Amino acid sequence: MQVYEAPLRDMKFVLHELHTDDGFGNLEALEEFTPDLVDAILEEAAKVAQEVLLPLNRSGDIEGCTLENGVVRTPKGFKEAYDLFREGGWCALASDPEWGGQGLPEQVNKMTEEMICSANLSFSLYPGLTHGGTTAIEGYASDELKQFYLPKMVSGEWSGTMCLTEPHCGTDLGMLRTKAVPQGDGSCKISGAKIFISAGEHDLTENIIHLVLARLPDAPEGVKGISLFLVPKYLPKDDGTPGPANGVSVAAIEHKMGLKASATCQLNFDESTGWLVGTPNKGMEAMFKMMNTERVSVGVQGLGVGEAAYQSAVWYAKERLQGRSLSGVKNPAGPADPIIVHPDVRRMLMTMRAYNEGCRAISGWVSRALDAEKFSTDPEVKQRAEDFIALMTPVVKALFTDLGFESANLSVQCYGGHGYIAESGVEQYARDARIAMIYEGTNGIQALDLVGRKLPAHMGRNLRSFFHPVSEFIAAHKEDANLGKMFEALEKAFGALQLSTATIAQNGMADPEEAAAAATDYLRLIGLVAMGYCFAKAALIAQGKLAEGTEEAGFYKAKLTTARFFFDRILPQATAAFLAIKSGKASMMEMETEAF
């Protein structure tokens, strides 16, 4: 059974208690968003997620999207839900007020995104892609394009997509063939085929604005010859209403493993009119602005599915009667005890819970950096925030989606045979979560980005934004009488991370394959240390609150218990990652290709 209640108390803990000492300071531009106002917004978002979107999740999966006469129809109820969502201002939550947005902190936006993804991941992609598109347009488009397109995209009246890959090139975008031919009026004619386009065609908005990668005549080969273009589905009239069709057609809907209520399309552009966004042949720079925004959001997708999977598993574990507790009967009135009494079921539930709380804590930390990068008036703080975001973006995308998929699988396992049956609803979580490890750059590519670009950038400056606060925190608290074992474990994991960093830096300079071979383990290692840092901070806060005699003792005791489980059962993975990194590439690369 799909069960979801927004984890508002933990979200408020992350927003108001956990990261107040993150070094990014109070941001004057966001002072109007008081804790009471933020809490009220989150509570309203929870109602939308639980009452409007969750009931459409399984029915949308069963019905899916359909293509009829070139038009994609979303499942029953999606159009009405989207209209309510748009009219409620949820599309414009974190967008710039200049374009009609509400200008809320990214910290609040990411918590809202998590709720939407938990309730209905397919639905989340429609407004989510639009927000990413507005980021690229705002950062690189001409003032004329901004003025005309951003207000309707920010409001949700028009939606957006990102059209990158083509059937023959996959991730290697330097091979793309879509052409852009300049016209005398400053526009271009775009011709080519794109695949895997999320929200590429649907019936939720009156227009769809495609951001399309294409090549101008005589452009250099490879990625250095790619430009970015804004191509509307319908050419708007001067008054902003949709005009004639613009040569954009749907060749097919992709038949996917999951996300069946999200229209993933194959699109053809047949001399479609488009306008350059940014500089000629510099399209990847503009597209990466959108992609990096989306990569953090995709990480939140993994967290969202993980939370829904966990809650559904908890519900089942409390309801399902099977076997007797090894420590004595717990349900004498029934024929068996609920399966939550069994240690292995507890292992699975606690693992999911720790993953979710750890990822939510990191999400809050990165979101504070996003706000500091945008709003801080201190150049040093802005730089540190920018460095931290650069380092953590691939970690958030890959770690959160890896763990979200693992949680979905654990939920299926908790249900046993019933989890494998569609009627339970939890097998959908496993199918839906799987794509997040692939799109917006596979998790292997995120790891390569981390070790190949983010670590060496600026002579290692990005790492200092992470290493310094963790090191200072350990030094300040490792003698804590009650939590000393946690800090000892964190210090050892952090030491393994430092040694691994040095190993990659040294070996990778001599042989790039050594760094590449270590990349996935290194990303997991830095993610584990980040989670450990957040859990140690949370444990300190919980310990203090309990000592004060808080009325919320249950919440803080659970936070301490979850932290202990993380340090006992999950953080030891750091040692395995370190040993794998230390072993080098030899056993991975030495086998002859013909022997596979």
pLDDT 10s digits, 16-45: 999 987 778 788 888 899 999 999 999 999
Band of the pLDDT at 148, cuts 50, 70, 90? very high
> What is the mean pLDDT of the segment spanning 223-249?
95
**Hunting for tokens 């989306």 — which residue is that?**
294
Structure tokens at 409: 């699988």
> Which domain, by its residues, includes 533?
457-585
Half-sphere exposure of 43 (CA within 13 A, CB side): 7
pLDDT score for 26: 80
Residues 6+ apart with CB under 8 A from 461: 387
Which stretch of DSSP H or E encloses residue 176? none
Residue 387: inside a domain: no
- Catalytic site includes residue 80: no
Closest CA to 58 of 129, 122, 7: 122
- Identify any residues that bridge with 321 across adjacent strands, giving them in sequence order: 338
Angle between helices 426-434 and 379-415 (to 10 degrees): 140
Q: Are 470 and 529 within 8 A, CB to CB?
A: yes
Residues 6+ apart with CB under 8 A from 589: 513, 517
* Angle ∠(462,485,356) on CA atoms, nearest 5: 60
Q: Cα dist. 305→66, 430, 534 in Å?
A: 24, 9, 21
Residue 267: inside a domain: no
**Hunting for tokens 């794509």 — which residue is that?**
435
Indicate if the pLDDT at residue 276 is higher than 80: yes
Residue 490: inside a domain: yes
What percent of the chain is modeled with pLDDT above 90? Answer: 89
Q: Are 375 and 30 within 8 A, CB to CB?
A: yes
- Identify any residues that bridge with 182 across adjacent strands, giving them in sequence order: 188
The catalytic residue among 106, 113, 357, 440 is: 440
Which stretch of DSSP H or E encloses residue 212? strand 207-214
> What is the mean pLDDT of the segment spanning 429-440?
96
3 state DSSP class of 353: helix
Mean pLDDT across the chain = 95
In this structure, the number of other CB atoms found within 10 A of the CB of residue 69 comes to 4
Band of the pLDDT at 381, cuts 50, 70, 90? very high
Closest CA to 580 of 505, 488, 499: 499
DSSP character for 223?
G
Distance from C-alpha of 466 to C-alpha of 235, rounded to nearest angstrom: 46
Closest CA to 489 of 534, 522, 526, 536: 536
Residue 555: inside a domain: yes
What would the pLDDT profile of 343-364 be if each residue is shown by its tens digit?
999 999 999 999 999 999 999 9
Indicate if the pLDDT at residue 292 is higher than 90: no
Closest CA to 190 of 165, 222, 217: 217
Cα 587 off chain centre by: 33
Band of the pLDDT at 375, cuts 50, 70, 90? very high
pLDDT score for 168: 84
Residue 556: inside a domain: yes
* Angle ∠(510,288,443) on CA atoms, nearest 5: 60
Distance from C-alpha of 106 to C-alpha of 85, rounded to nearest angstrom: 18
> What is the mean pLDDT of the segment spanning 418-436?
97
pLDDT score for 161: 95
Distance from C-alpha of 57 to C-alpha of 570, rounded to nearest angstrom: 31
Query: 3-40: string of b/e by CB count within 10 Å (b at 16+)?
Result: bbebbeebbbbbbeebbeebbbeebeebeebeeeebbe
pLDDT score for 294: 85
pLDDT score for 370: 93
Band of the pLDDT at 570, cuts 50, 70, 90? very high
> What is the mean pLDDT of the segment spanning 94-121?
95
Of the listed ranges 48-62, 126-140, 416-430, the one predicted with least confidence: 126-140
What percent of the chain is modeled with pLDDT above 70? Answer: 100
> What is the mean pLDDT of the segment spanning 487-502?
97
In this structure, the number of other CB atoms found within 10 A of the CB of residue 401 comes to 31
Residue 263: inside a domain: no
What would the pLDDT profile of 508-534 be if each residue is shown by its tens digit?
888 999 999 999 999 999 999 999 999
What would the pLDDT profile of 129-141 be if each residue is shown by its tens digit?
999 899 999 999 9
Residue 493: inside a domain: yes
When divided into structural domains, the chain yields a total of: 1
Indicate if the pLDDT at residue 170 is higher than 80: no
> What is the mean pLDDT of the segment spanning 61-85?
96
Which stretch of DSSP H or E encloses residue 71? strand 71-73
Angle between helices 426-434 and 283-319 (to 10 degrees): 160
- Identify any residues that bridge with 207 across adjacent strands, giving them in sequence order: 158
Of 27 and 47, the structure prediction assigns the larger pLDDT to 47
Number of H helices, E strands in the chain: 18, 11
What phi, psi does 496 have (nearest 5°)?
A: -65, -40
Distance from C-alpha of 255 to C-alpha of 236, rounded to nearest angstrom: 31
Structure tokens at 246: 């613009």
Distance from C-alpha of 348 to C-alpha of 210, rounded to nearest angstrom: 42
Band of the pLDDT at 310, cuts 50, 70, 90? very high
Band of the pLDDT at 382, cuts 50, 70, 90? very high
Q: Are 347 and 410 within 8 A, CB to CB?
A: no
Residue 101: inside a domain: no
Structure tokens at 100: 């009609």
Distance from C-alpha of 566 to C-alpha of 8, rounded to nearest angstrom: 21
